Amino acid sequence: MKLGQWIGLLAIVLSSYILWQIREALLLAFAAVVLATTLNRLSRRFQRLGLKRGISVIISVLIFIALVVGFFWLIVPPFVDQFQELTRKVPQGLQRVNFWLLEQKTHIPPQLITYIPDINRLVQEAQRFISPVLGSSFAFLSGSLEALLKILLVLVLTGMFLADPKAYRKVFVRLFPSFYRRRIDGILDKCEESLEGWVTGAFIAMSAVGIMSVVGLSILGVPAALALGILAGFLNLIPNLGPTMSVIPAMAIALLDAPWKSLAVFIVYLVIQQIESNFLTPYVMARQVSLLPAVTLISQLFFVTFFGFLGLFLALPLTVVAKIWVQEILIKDILDQWNSDAERETEFVMISEVQNVINVQQPPPNDVPTKKEEE
């Protein structure tokens, strides 16, 4: 290769390395873009009602803050109460099991007594594993502070993007050649529409799952049914894995009330998940965002492997945007044009060959004098 080609290859490798090192920052910036796009579309709806831009943005931000505060206000207090009850009832349950085992030893042959576990010994063994976890509370606290700072960064970036979205969009468009900027602007419009469709579809599915969970848990008489239902709806934003994560706290709280309720909660959540995955999500997402189920699962595995939990949470919007860019640039602007150019060239060659054959086989016209007639 020539020197210029080596320099270009080195620039690509260095750019890829730098992007890989700052992948988490780029993911946080994308989260801010998704949130800002959603709030911007909501503010545009208020503008259509006759409100000014500034007032529409303020109303959209206040709605978002109200939803976040209401979510934590409804979720955190019931879970704190249930966790305190859990820490009180678990030792009582262990004592009952230990007492029952001691009673059974009198009715069991001496050869089998050695195989019966001692609860006190199990608790002592468990403390060896619990102590290091408790000792790492500083690491847990530092991780919580880091997560809080990341959330704060996303909110600040969202506010900046929302204040003047056209300026940031113009800067991004200018990174492309002048002849391609109008095309990029159209692709950004499609990305914005797709993100709005994903948000709408996710909100519909989340609301339906939350309402069904609240109704089912209320019928069973499970404590904190409203908080558990809201949590189930929120975790539904994570396809495939979210419903599994939401059933664990519901079964734990139901177990404190009555053992049979834990199994009933599992059945209720299983039915809700079947309704959501087989009827609700395919219908809603097919109308809002057309994504194949296998593509959704593969994108989750990919983003959670390289980006962690945040990548899992943003897997669907990232896939939606990536689909638009691949479809518009790689397929329509490169592959389809490449194919059409080849077809045009083949058609031109075929027409030329046919024309040459016709010219060879066609006799000269009668009005053209031959050589003898000219003499």
pLDDT of residue 164: 85
pLDDT (tens digit, 9 = 90+) per residue, 331-361?
888 887 775 555 565 555 566 655 665 665 5
**Is residue 148 included in any domain, yes or no?**
yes
Query: 163: closest CA among 64, 26, 63, 56?
Result: 56
Domain count, the chain: 1
Whether 289 is in a domain gets the answer no
Name which of 241, 243, 240, 264 is nearest 253 in CA terms: 264
Residue 67, in any domain of the structure: yes
Q: How far is CA 346 from CA 125, 130, 349, 354, in A?
A: 78, 73, 5, 12
pLDDT given for residue 85 in this prediction: 64
Q: pLDDT value at position 133?
A: 43
pLDDT tens, position by position, 251-272: 877 877 777 888 898 999 989 8
375 vs 216: which has the higher pLDDT: 216
Q: How high is the pLDDT of residue 372? A: 47
Share of the chain above pLDDT 70, in %: 68
Residue 206 DSSP SS3: helix
Does some domain include residue 195? no
Q: How confident is the model at residue 160 (pLDDT cuts 50, 70, 90)?
A: confident
Please state, in angstroms and rounded to a whole number, the distance separating the CA atoms of residues 339 and 345.
10
Domain that holds residue 137: 23-163
Q: Which residue has the higher pLDDT, 209 or 357?
A: 209
Higher pLDDT, 199 or 286: 199
State the average pLDDT over residues 297-314.
Answer: 78
Residue 245 included in any domain = no
Higher pLDDT, 44 or 95: 44
- Confidence class for position 78, pLDDT limits 50, 70, 90: confident
Residue 186 has pLDDT above 80, yes or no: yes
Mean pLDDT within 60-73: 86
Domain assignment present for 104 = yes
In this predicted structure, which of 9-13, 75-79, 359-363 has the lowest mean pLDDT?
Answer: 359-363
Look at residues 154, 159, 129, 130 and name the one whose alpha carbon lies nearest to residue 40. Answer: 159
Predicted pLDDT of residue 12: 82
Count of beta carbons in the 10 Å neighbourhood of residue 57 = 21
Rounded distance between C-alpha atoms, residue 240 and residue 243, angstroms: 7
Q: What's the whole-model pTM score?
A: 0.66
Residue 219: inside a domain: no
- Alpha-helical segments (H) within the chain: 3-21, 23-48, 53-104, 110-113, 119-135, 137-163, 165-173, 181-220, 225-235, 242-257, 259-275, 281-288, 293-313, 315-325, 337-361, 371-374
Task: Tell me how far apart the alpha carbons of residues 34 and 36 are, in angstroms, rounded to a whole number.
Answer: 6
pLDDT higher than 50, residue 288: yes
Average pLDDT score over residue span 6-19: 82
Asked whether residue 64 is assigned to any structural domain, the reply reads yes
Residue 284 has what pLDDT?
Answer: 65
Confidence of residue 283 (pLDDT cuts 50, 70, 90): low
Average pLDDT value for the chain: 75
* pLDDT at residue 287 is higher than 50: yes
**Residue with the larger pLDDT of the pair 55 and 142:** 55
99-148 pLDDT, tens digit per residue, is 666 666 666 666 555 555 555 555 555 455 445 544 444 454 555 677 77
